[in-house]
Amino acid sequence: MSEHEYTPKSKAGKWFNDRLPLLTLGAHLTDYPTPKNLNYWWTFGGILTFCLITQIVTGIVLAMHYVAHADLAFASVEHIMRDVNYGWLIRYIHSNGASMFFLAVYIHIFRSLFYGSYKSPREVIWIIGLMIYLLMMAAAFMGYVLPWGQMSFWGATVITNLFSAIPLVGDSITTWLWGAYSVDNPTLNRFFSLHYLIPFLILGLVVLHIWALHVPGNNNPVGIDIKKPSKDTVPFHPYITIKDAFALLVFMIIFAGFVFFTPNVLGHSDNYIPANPLVTPAHIVPEWYLLPFYAILRSVPDKLGGVILMFSAIFILFVLPWLDTSKVRSAVFRPIYRQFFWILVIDVLMLGYVGAMPAEGIYLVLARVGTIYYFLHFIVVMPVVGYLEKTDPIPMSISEPVLTGGAEPSLARKVNDKV
């Protein structure tokens, strides 16, 4: 929080602020001391906020024209594409927006992994973030079902059948999810309802995410604790707002490139075939952002085991702050962990690739190797490397590497105490 107390200048402002301190909040957000060395990997928080708002606005608009009924859904989506004024644009923004949202969130998560942003005192920020990520996956999955094409229908069938792997009650749970004896109209109706709800839950969690962030303040590329405000910080506005705005513009250019030039490249052409409960498409794949988990699921030759492993791949991230034993946050000063970090990046990309390929031959082998490494990374590498690694010397302040010998002695002591 800002060090100084804020008092509105106008009498009316003071009257209002005494009753609801919105102006204090505004002043806090404006002055919020931010590390001055944040790089462009730190702009994805703002980009993700933009993505969420874009999805909510275009989604509300699409819901004005969409009909959530098994007999009418597919035609209503085509109606949006052909008849509704700018309907094609709004739908392409929404469908590509989901992909852009996941692209940004993966960069955001890996940023956190590289710079140790999940570590004390930021564990709660990390956990809220993971909850947002889980809700994003649920929203994206249900949204993909709504056009009621072949991929919608069979994607819904496969994912809901995951729950049938649960011993004893699996079948009952699956039937309960469907509201029928297969994916059918009741399933579509409830998915639409929940698809509309989840973004607002995400919005609430985003507020908590930012609130939790503003308690300790931002981590930074050198990963050290800093005094706030100090010569190591700059006010959020205008320094960070303008940097975020520039990054957002570049992001929007890429976004617009997809929307206007290759709007269907990230989708699957089979979803332009109306849902048919009698015929499964030859090759069924989830959207790209779920592929690594799909690869983990298929790498296990056991129904229940595959499901457990797939969910574990996500839930293991919740205990990451306690699996990582290193006291140094930023991988910039961790020569060994840094290499494992990049192996993990390559591993996840490879899992994504084999997730899109048929589950046979070399792809199955790669999926198994990738799955084993994924879990080894978190369960073995992170605790062990944290203990054994000899880290590089960390600077005493952000300014120190720039201004030789310029570090404040008081600041240095503080850093040494913590690290």
Whether cis (ω within 30° of 0) applies to the bond prior to 121 is yes
HSE toward the beta carbon, residue 359, CA cutoff 13 A: 16
Q: Give the Cα separation of 28 and 12 in Å (integer).
A: 19
Of 252 and 356, CB closest to another protein: 252
Of 66 and 141, CB closest to another protein: 66
Find the shortest distance in angstroms from Cβ 258 to another protein. Answer: 16
For residues 329 and 219, the answer to whether their CB atoms sit within 8 Å is yes
Find the shortest distance in angstroms from Cβ 351 to another protein. Answer: 36
Of 86 and 315, CB closest to another protein: 86
Amino acid found at 107: I
User: DSSP labels for 129-161?
Assistant: HHHHHHHHHHHHHHHHHTT-BHHHHHHHHHHHH
338 is written with which tokens? 């840094």
Of 62 and 70, CB closest to another protein: 62
Of 54 and 397, CB closest to another protein: 54
Of 94 and 119, CB closest to another protein: 94
Find the shortest distance in angstroms from Cβ 83 to another protein. Answer: 4
Find the shortest distance in angstroms from Cβ 75 to another protein. Answer: 11
Find the shortest distance in angstroms from Cβ 142 to another protein. Answer: 22
Find the shortest distance in angstroms from Cβ 96 to another protein. Answer: 15
Of 88 and 341, CB closest to another protein: 88
H/E segment holding residue 186: helix 185-214
125 is written with which tokens? 């920020």
Of 65 and 231, CB closest to another protein: 65
Q: Which residues bind another protein (CB under 8 A)?
A: 57, 61, 64-65, 79, 82-87, 89-90
Q: Give the Cα separation of 323 and 316 in Å (integer).
A: 9
Of 65 and 214, CB closest to another protein: 65
For residues 274 and 150, the answer to whether their CB atoms sit within 8 Å is yes
At residue 127, the 3 state secondary structure works out as helix
User: DSSP labels for 347-377?
Assistant: HHHHHHHHHHS-SSHHHHHHHHHHHHHHHHI
Find the shortest distance in angstroms from Cβ 88 to another protein. Answer: 10
Residues with Cβ within 8 Å of residue 312, at least 6 apart in sequence: 375
Q: Give the Cα separation of 396 and 401 in Å (integer).
A: 9
Residues with Cβ within 8 Å of residue 56, at least 6 apart in sequence: 199, 200, 203
Find the shortest distance in angstroms from Cβ 296 to another protein. Answer: 39
Q: Give the Cα separation of 285 and 357 in Å (integer).
A: 9
At residue 273, the 3 state secondary structure works out as coil
Find the shortest distance in angstroms from Cβ 314 to another protein. Answer: 34
Of 79 and 228, CB closest to another protein: 79
Nearest to 320 by CA among 40, 127, 161: 127
Apex 148 CA angle, 202 and 178, nearest 5: 70
Find the shortest distance in angstroms from Cβ 200 to another protein. Answer: 19
Of 253 and 278, CB closest to another protein: 253
Q: Give the Cα separation of 152 and 144 in Å (integer).
A: 6
HSE toward the beta carbon, residue 7, CA cutoff 13 A: 2
Q: Give the Cα separation of 175 and 388 in Å (integer).
A: 50
For residues 199 and 56, the answer to whether their CB atoms sit within 8 Å is yes
Find the shortest distance in angstroms from Cβ 79 to another protein. Answer: 6
